[in-house]
Amino acid sequence: MIGRDFWYDVLRSGAILGVAMAIAHVLEQYMIVYSGESITSVIVWYLLVWTISAGVFIWLLVRFSRRRAAASDPKYGYSYSVALSYILMVSMLAGVIVGATNTIYVGAMGYGEYVEGMIGRVEEIKQMYTEMNITTLNGEFDKMCEVLRTAERPSMLSSVFSSFNTYITTGGLCGLIISAIVSRKPQLFNTDDNSNE
């Protein structure tokens, strides 16, 4: 059943998941935009951080869902729909925290520096392709740089909404499997009550 303790658990678990994912996202942003490392090093570190953060995301969802299932009343069980709702709510809150953190971080580091850093990375990739004698994408890289230069700075609301959509989709896909694992049928007969009669 969904009660006050359900929403408290959603807030607590969503906050923990959101902070963990926000830290990973800030690390990714720093490496790509602000670190000044070579593109090869950035790709390796980005893939490493992304893999670890994906593992942590799934592990925390499983851990929180199992804890929630264990805390539910055996008389009512823990249905698949309630388990999936829990995971979606936790993921939504995490997405909001990540989106807000990203906006604050980019603002603190300087949006102009962010744009220049992204353009620099695109130019590095363009140069890497040119060295491999692949020049057919040069026009696309130039368009990307122009879009980055002319785009308006996104608001916190748009950043939060984008992150919200990403995390609810990812959480929902993971939740389809996790919910099936942690759901429990109601315990129709209480053996303790029967033994006391």
Question: CB count, 10 Å around CB of 152?
Answer: 6
Does residue 86 contact residue 10 with C-beta atoms inside 8 Å?
yes
Distance between CA atoms of residues 180 and 173, nearest Å: 12
In the chain, helix, strand, coil percent, each to 5?
Answer: 80, 0, 15
Token pair in block for residue 47: 């893939």
What does the pLDDT profile of the chain (197 residues) look like in tens digits? 466 788 899 999 999 999 999 999 999 989 888 887 888 888 899 899 999 999 999 999 999 999 998 888 778 778 899 899 999 999 999 999 999 999 999 888 888 888 888 888 888 888 888 888 887 888 888 898 888 888 888 888 998 999 999 999 999 999 999 999 998 888 766 555 444 44
| C-alpha angle 121-147-43 in degrees, rounded to nearest 5 | 20
pTM of the model: 0.83
Domains of the chain, residue spans: 4-183
